[in-house]
Amino acid sequence: MPEILSVEELRARYGNASGADIFDPEFRKVADQVFGDGDSRQAPYCGAPTLLKAPLRQDAAPRFTDIDVALLGIPLDLGVTNRPGARFGPRAVRNVERVGPYDHVLRAVPAAHVRVADVGDVPFRSRFDLVSSHEDIERYVRGLVDAGVVPLSVGGDHSIGLPLLRAVGRERPVGMIHIDAHCDTSGSFEGCKFHHGGPFRQAVLDGLLDPRRTIQIGIRGNSEYLWEFSYVSGMTVIHAEEVEELGIKHVIEMARAVAGDGPTYVSFDVDALDPAFASGTGTPEVGGLTSAQALGILRGLSGLDIVGGDVVEVAPQYDPTTNTAQVAAQVLFEILCLAAEAIRIRASRQIEPSR
């Protein structure tokens, strides 16, 4: 704890100090990363809106040079089973003025250590064809992965999880931390298996996702009978009411144990949260997680080998408060912190001398 100063000492130190005059060495280190020289920052309401206020690099494709983490929008909701509108999710998250650049729990300023860019939205050949749109997502994100860039996506409905995993899990199956109200492991309905209720069944069957390294957190609602695949494939399922019973620390321990040391994907559906915290989504389910619980779980994943992630199902027209977009932007920032730490760890292992 810092030394407590008297009023006279406070006047002497802070009476003529600017906002960038910070004396605590740890806070000073953060301020240097955020401010640079002086105390000037761009106003959060100025400039073109981008994901997490990252530099806009719409011209980065197809080489994606000088980028470590790509933030991208996927404005697609052709796979929803109920209320449409998640196609407007990326725009709503971009319009959130103030998230980051510092995470006080993780003590992280990710943009100070990795090159982050908003690369725009996935270009679609057709706004009407779900299958071709999934092909477009896979092709675009595969370009990122091939360039050594970690993709963090904002959807869009959860059907985008399948093409994202086809890109990220192409070389080897990945584990997954999946925070959601629904397991999304149901089968084909009405002749379609690419809807937002079943991407992770198909990802397992396609050899992209390791079910024994997959944990699903926050599960609840009236569709439990559709998700037997989660159990028989070996996924770990934690229902929303169990999060309260187990406690956040134990849930984090379980998630870390399930994911292990291998490559891990993070998928966050905003309907994991109770509608009191995130009403702007297509399939709300009461009895969900609080925003504090969700952020606590994510922050507990630091150090895992995160190779990609997404935040999905933001449908802003159902939320006049903008709370859902606010939460989604904060979740995206937390996943960015996890990805930046994973990149740092991977880089340190590459430069370690052989033993």
> Residue 66: is its pLDDT beyond 60?
yes
pLDDT of residue 174: 98
Q: Report which residue type is found at 70.
A: A
Q: What is each CA distance from 107 to 122, 137, 303, in whole angstroms?
A: 32, 33, 13
d(CA 24, CA 32): 12
Evaluate the CA torsion angle 254, 149, 157, 326 in order and state its sign.
positive
Token pair recorded at residue 44: 């959060």
> Residue 2: is its pLDDT beyond 80?
no
Which residue, among 261, 266, 264, 186, has the nearest Cα to 221 in the 3D structure? 186
d(CA 156, CA 144): 19
Question: What would the mean pLDDT of 84-94 be, rounded to a whole number?
Answer: 97
- Is 220 within 8 Å of 213 (Cβ atoms)? no
Burial class (CB in 10 A: 0-12, 13-18, 19+), 273: buried
pLDDT tens digits along 97-141: 889 899 999 999 999 999 999 999 999 999 999 999 999 999 999
pLDDT tens digits along 249-283: 999 999 999 999 999 999 999 999 999 999 999 99
Question: What would the mean pLDDT of 194-198 be, rounded to a whole number?
Answer: 79
d(CA 160, CA 76): 8
d(CA 304, CA 259): 8
Token pair recorded at residue 245: 């019973």
**Phi and psi angles of residue 212, each rounded to the nearest 5 degrees, phi first:** -75, -10
> Residue 181: is its pLDDT beyond 70?
yes
pLDDT of residue 46: 85
The annotated binding site for Mn(2+) is made up of 158, 180, 182, 184, 269, 271
d(CA 93, CA 197): 23
* CATH number assigned to the domain with residue range 49-349, chosen from the 4 options 3.90.1150.110, 3.30.9.10, 3.30.1360.170, 3.40.800.10: 3.40.800.10
Q: What is the DSSP string of 88-115?
A: GHHHHHHT-----S-BTTTTB-GGGTS-
Which residue, among 98, 100, 88, has the nearest Cα to 155 in the 3D structure? 88
Q: How many residues does the chain have?
A: 355
Lowest-confidence range among 46-50, 176-180, 194-198, 316-320?
194-198
Mean of the per-residue pLDDT values of the chain: 93
Burial class (CB in 10 A: 0-12, 13-18, 19+), 219: buried
Evaluate the CA torsion angle 74, 89, 298, 106 in order and state its sign.
positive
The annotated binding site is made up of 158, 180, 182, 184, 269, 271
The domain segmentation of the chain, as residue ranges, is 1-41, 49-349
Task: Give residue 324's pLDDT band: very low, low, confident or very high (50, 70, 90).
Answer: very high
pLDDT of residue 43: 80
pLDDT of residue 35: 76
> Residue 355: is its pLDDT beyond 50?
no
> Residue 354: is its pLDDT beyond 60?
no
pLDDT of residue 1: 66
Residue indicated by tokens 């994907």: 265
Lowest-confidence range among 7-16, 40-49, 69-78, 279-288?
40-49
Q: Report which residue type is found at 314.
A: V
